[in-house]
Chains A and B, each alone.
Chain A
Amino acid sequence: MTQPAKQPSLNPLPLKERMKVPKQHMLEQPPLLRATNFTEVNLGYSEELARQEALRCLECAKPVCMIDCPVGVKVKEFVQLIVAGDFLGAAAKIREDNVLPAITGRVCPQEDHCEGGCLMGKKVEPLGIGYLERFVADYEQQHFDVKNIVRAAPTGKKVAIVGSGPSGLTAAGDLVQKGHEVRVFEALHEIGGVLVYGIPEFRLPKAIIRQQVDYMRAMGVEFETDVVVGRTVTIDELMEEEGYDAVFIGTGAGSPQFMGIPGEHLNGVYSANEFLTRINLMHAYEFPKYDEPMLDFRGKNVAVIGGGNTALDAIRSALRLGAGKAFILYRRSEAEMPARIEEVKHARQEGIEFQVLAAPLEFLDDGTGWLAGARCQKMALGEPDASGRRRPVPIEGSEYEIPLAVAVIAIGTSANPIVQSTTPGLNTNKRNYIEADAVTQRTSRRGVFAGGDIVTGSATVILAMGAGRRAAQSIHEYLTTSGEW
């Protein structure tokens, strides 16, 4: 099974004993309480719980956890440092590969990466790697003085990062550590991209994002908000007039998809992006303290269409706004839902209903332009489609109607066209995503790199971060070599 590690282990427990240590679960707000507030659900580990959990690591010779991590976090090493009680050392170890540990510790689908391959998980429950990462990142925030950050010697090269989401922040953090001058341009008024407008407070508090961004500022990254690259300034202008030697495009797949069914324009029908932006970026749930308004959800029927993390974020937000009945409408079965396991669990605990194998055919008008309900159709599962998941097949004659006051469409996003349409010579694919090399993240334009959702289409925070990391490495090589393209 596992080989003993080459270096002497810091873990006092023999391997067999480690299997017997129970998984340490993170404390959570009770479901009925948290369903009424936007405060974070998970409350974190104590130092003691973290060390207990860390003791469970088998210290595999070939750590699958690290191999499966899109940014290559040295899981085994940081977990050992937790065992030894060196929490700041553990944080620094993570930071070698991941500049946003407090964020990934909260929103990464660990079951698909580090924890998915964990040997412990084959026998009992996998090591709580996400929880441990979150713990050390939060510990670092409380105990580390950013004044102690050592800046790299400047290379004299300037890099512009377009978009301050996960890929852009990661690329910025890695590049600044290599001594390049880095400036991040953000279209909105807050730094963080989808982390800020998309992911709700109860899953990723804004204060955490701000701390991580402040840490990056201390590292030397500059930020400029209110700049829509493509409109306020073009990529060509950044390179020709403002002297940037390279540009990384990480604009995300920010354009909401609608279903193209009748009634989508009715009052009460939202895209998930709008609904979540109102709540997260604009704080509409704090109206009238904040000016951005929101409909009155109290006691109303609310449905979110979709089965991803965004759909769950939306429906759990609706519940917190006081929805009487809040449910997910998903056209496949629960097994195909792309959402994180923990989010589905949390949602269910909070009282979210799941109507699976059903999809709306039409949104119904109450006669005054407001949503009254939806006419839905039941589905069965057919053969697997291109995504590898079983395709939903409509069942004839299964139509039924449900009353609804609000419907949120969370079926995915497509490419935002602003950068592509204003950057001559930048190649895109049929769906208008930017073409970039899978390893070097190079685009068709010399000195221009791209990564994250604007290249792959909607994916996860950690996959975007992986792309940002590869891009940073590749940009560094480009800037420090002959610059061949």
Chain B
Amino acid sequence: MFKILHAEFLAPGIKRFVIEAPRIAHKQKPGQFVILRLYEQGERIPITIEHSDPERGTIRIVVQSVGKTTHLLNSLKAGDSILDVVGPLGKPSEIAKFGTVVVMGGGVGTAMAYPTAAALKHAGNRVISIVGARNKELVILERELREVSDALMITTDDGSYADKGFVTDKLRQLIENGTRIDLVLAIGPIPMMRAVAEMTRKEHIRTIVSLNPIMIDGTGMCGGCRVLVDGKSEFACVDGPEFDAHRVDFAVLVQRNSMYRAAEQQSMEEFQRETEAQRKTKSQRETEAQRETVPAGQTGACAAQGDVR
């Protein structure tokens, strides 16, 4: 059991957790991830570690609600526990003095790019960060990234904050301005990483992406997370998760990630039905409680909602 010490929403549907995991905190390096399992019947999902504090023995993760497991996870609060947290997994990011590095984060990918950006800055690189989000509310870690960047650019799809457009627009501007770029690190949705790869390929700029295929054990045992790199299968969990973007077959990644779409939808729909039913029972119970003028705060429903087990 791994205790959640702190939990806060950074944006709607995006939550940051501080989790007690001394062994992992002691070993984590930027670019690595953990695999979580919330409860006995749960699946195992990989989540990048945003930060770790070896002194306190804690790690930090940022989670976006997408499917059933991430929705459940984001319903947890400080004081709750996660059944299994294993890591740090994957190869750490390559940290060296490259020169000028452009770090690009799309959506919640920003949280994954952040630790590497910080390490690259620490290694003496000039770090230009580009962060993209759908709208103003979803821009995360702006302050943290600003601290470790020589320049920070922000785009929103709808123009509700900073510049309207995509992160690739900013990258194009940099390239067109003749900025010397030695390395690009892009972490975000697959279409974004793919677009970045296409843009830098022509310019012969070395580009690293962090891939998020379906994964089970995370130790190289199952081969489910295999990605096609230069026409050969590599395992994202042990050979990655970071790969040379120009060698990755993104079409295969998209296709393999769609493998369980039907089942995922079914899971999510049933989860929503259950949550809705629970919510109704809860409000019913509250109404009844009010009627009976019993002091509030004694129903078990709140705890049940937080404790997924």
Give A contacts to B, CB under 8 Å. 187-189, 197, 225-228, 231-233, 254-256, 258, 264-265, 267, 270-271, 273-274, 277-278, 281-283, 287-296, 369, 416-418
Q: B192 an interface residue at 8 Å Cβ cutoff?
A: no
B69 contacts the other chain (Cβ, under 8 Å)? yes
Report yes or no: B219 in contact with A417, Cβ–Cβ below 8 A.
no
Bound Cα distance from A231 to B27, whole angstroms: 7
Contact in complex: A273, B41 (CB < 8 Å): no
Query: B216-230: contact bitstring with A at CB < 8 Å (1 yes, 0 no)?
Result: 111111111010100
CB distance from A201 to the nearest CB of B (A): 15
A420 to chain B, nearest CB (A): 12
Contact A273 B221 (CB under 8 A): yes
Report the minimum CB–CB distance from A271 to chain B (whole Å): 4
Complex Cα spacing A329 to B224, Å: 21
Find out whether the CB atom of B263 lies under 8 angstroms from the CB atom of A188.
no
* A288: chain B residues within 8 A (beta carbon): 263, 266-267, 270
Instruction: Evaluate contact between A226 and B86: CB separation under 8 angstroms.
Output: yes
Contact (Cβ within 8 A) B86 A278: no
Q: Pick the residue among B42, B89, B224 that contacts A228 (CB under 8 A).
A: B89
**List of A residues within 8 angstroms of B68 by Cβ:** 291
Closest A residue to B26 by beta carbon equals A233
The reply on B24 being an interface residue by CB < 8 A is yes
Q: B252: CB under 8 A from chain A?
A: yes
Docked-complex contact A226 and B216, CB < 8 angstroms? no
CB distance from B259 to the nearest CB of A (A): 5
In the complex, which residue of chain B has the Cβ closest to the Cβ of A256? B223
Given contacts A267-B256, A418-B238, contact A282 B220 (CB under 8 A): no
The answer to whether B8 has its CB under 8 Å from any CB of chain A is no
Contacts of A231 in B (CB 8 A): 27, 87-89, 219
Is B267 in contact with A265, judged by CB distance below 8 angstroms?
no
Q: How far is the CB of A52 from chain B (nearest CB, A)?
A: 41
Contact indicator B238/A295 (Cβ below 8 Å) = no
Q: Looking at A226, A255, A281, A417, which has the most chain B CB atoms within 10 Å of its CB?
A: A226
Q: Is the CB of A292 within 8 A of B43?
A: yes
Q: Number of A-B pairs whose CB atoms are under 8 Å?
A: 123
Interface residue B60 (Cβ < 8 Å from any Cβ of A): no
Residues of B within 8 A of A265 (CB): 226, 228, 233, 249, 252, 256
A189-B84, A232-B86, A233-B27 in contact; A291/B42 too (CB < 8 A)?
yes
A411 to B: closest C-beta gap in Å: 12
Q: Determine if B24 and A232 form an interchain contact, defined as CB atoms under 8 angstroms apart.
A: yes
Specify which chain A residues have a CB less than 8 angstroms from the CB of B24 in the assembled complex.
Answer: 232
Since A228-B86, A273-B223 are in contact, a sample of 4 more A-B pairs with Cβ atoms closer than 8 Å, ordered by chain A residue number, is A189-B83, A231-B219, A271-B222, A287-B263
- Chain B contacts with A in 184-233, Cβ cutoff 8 A: 216-224, 226, 228, 233
A188 and B217 form a contact (CB under 8 A): yes
The size bracket of the interface on B is 35 or more
**Which residues of B sit under 8 angstroms from A283, Cβ to Cβ?**
41
17 contacts between A and B (CB under 8 A): A187-B219, A188-B219, A189-B44, A189-B83, A197-B221, A226-B86, A227-B86, A231-B87, A232-B87, A258-B233, A267-B255, A274-B222, A277-B221, A282-B43, A288-B266, A291-B68, A293-B43
> A255: which B residues are within 8 A, CB to CB?
220-221, 223
- Known A-B contacts A258-B233, A418-B238; the reply to A277 vs B222 at CB < 8 A is yes
**Residues from chain A with Cβ under 8 Å of B41 in the complex:** 283, 289-291
| In the complex, B85 has a CB within 8 A of chain A | yes
Residues of chain B lying within 8 A (CB to CB) of residue A295: 259-260, 263
Distance between A433 CB and nearest chain B CB, rounded to angstroms: 15
Instruction: Give which listed residue, B217, B259, B267, contacts A267 with CB less than 8 A.
Output: B259
Which B residues are CB-close (under 8 A) to A273?
A: 221-223
Residues of A within 8 A of B86 (CB): 187-189, 226-228, 232
Hey, which chain A residues are within 8 Å of B222, CB to CB?
256, 271, 273-274, 277
Complex Cα distance A281/B216, Å? 10
Is B160 among interface residues, defined by CB-CB distance under 8 A? no
Q: Chain B contacts of A281 at CB under 8 A?
A: 216-217
Residues of A within 8 A of B258 (CB): 267, 369
Contacts of A264 in B (CB 8 A): 233
**Given contact pairs A233-B27, A258-B233, A293-B263, A228 touches B221 in the complex (Cβ within 8 A):** no
Determine how close the nearest CB of chain B comes to the CB of A38; give it in whole angstroms: 16
Query: Contact between A225 and B23 (Cβ–Cβ < 8 Å)?
Result: no
How distant is A391 from chain B, measured CB to nearest CB, in Å? 26
- How far does the alpha carbon of A187 sit from the alpha carbon of B35 in the complex, in Å? 11
Kindly list chain A residues whose C-beta atoms are within 8 Å of the C-beta of B216.
274, 277-278, 281-282, 292
Please name all residues of chain A whose beta carbon is closer than 8 Å to the beta carbon of B262 when the two chains form the complex. 296
A93 to B68 CA separation, bound complex (whole angstroms)? 50
A418 touches B267 (CB 8 A): no
For A230, the closest partner residue in chain B by CB is B219
Pairwise interchain contact B219-A293, C-beta atoms closer than 8 A: no
Q: Chain B residues near A418 (CB, 8 Å)?
A: 219-220, 238
Distance A255 CA – B225 CA, assembled complex (angstroms):
12
Cα distance, A476 to B238, chains bound together (Å): 34
Which among B37, B43, B224 is the interface contact of A274 at CB below 8 angstroms?
Answer: B224
CB-CB under 8 A for A416 and B233, given A189-B84, A228-B89, A288-B267: no
B264 contacts A by Cβ under 8 Å: yes
Q: Which B3-23 residues sit within 8 Å CB-CB of chain A?
A: 23
Query: Which residue of the partner chain A has the closest CB to B24?
Result: A232
When the two chains form their complex, are residues B256 and A254 in contact, meaning their CB atoms are under 8 A apart?
A: no
Report how far A294 CA is from B43 CA in the complex, Å.
12
CB distance from B144 to the nearest CB of A (A): 26
- Specify which of A291, A369, A416 is in contact with B267 (CB 8 Å cutoff): A291
- Chain A nearest CB, measured from B217 CB (Å): 6
How many Å from the CB of B128 to the closest CB on chain A?
Answer: 31
> Within the assembled complex, what's the spacing in Å between the Cα atoms of A278 and B44?
10
Q: Are B270 and A277 in touch, CB under 8 angstroms? A: no
**Could you tell me the distance between the alpha carbons of A274 and B24 in the complex, rounded to whole angstroms?**
25
Partner of A291, one of B43, B88, B251: B43
Q: Give the complex CA separation of A228 and B27 in angstroms.
A: 11
Task: Chain A residues near B87: list those with CB within 8 A.
Answer: 228, 231-232
Q: Which of B221, B249, B266 interacts with A416 by CB under 8 Å?
A: B221
Give, as a whole number of angstroms, the nearest-CB distance from B67 to chain A: 9
List the B side residues contacting A256 at CB < 8 Å. 221-223
**In contact, A293 and B221 (Cβ under 8 angstroms):** no
Name the residue on A nearest B233 (C-beta). A258
Q: How far is the CA of A291 from the CA of B267 in the complex (A)?
A: 7
Least CB separation from B227: chain A residue? A265
Identity of the chain B residue whose Cβ is nearest the Cβ of A254 in the assembled complex: B221
Which of B43, B238, B249 is A417 in contact with, Cβ under 8 Å? B238
Per-position 1/0 for B82-118, Cβ under 8 A of A: 0111111100000000000000000000000000000
Closest beta carbon of chain A to B238's beta carbon, Å: 7
Q: With a CB–CB cut-off of 8 A, which chain A residues contact B42?
A: 290-291
Q: Which residues on the B side are within 8 Å of A277 (C-beta)? A: 216-217, 221-222
Q: Are A291 and B69 touching (Cβ within 8 A)?
A: yes
CB neighbours (8 Å) of B221 from chain A are 197, 254-256, 273, 277, 416
Which A residues touch B83, using CB under 8 A?
A: 189
Give Cα A197 to B224, complex, Å.
Answer: 14
Interface residues of B in 52-91 (CB under 8 A from A): 68-69, 83-89
A contact residues around B44 at 8 Å (CB): 189, 282, 292
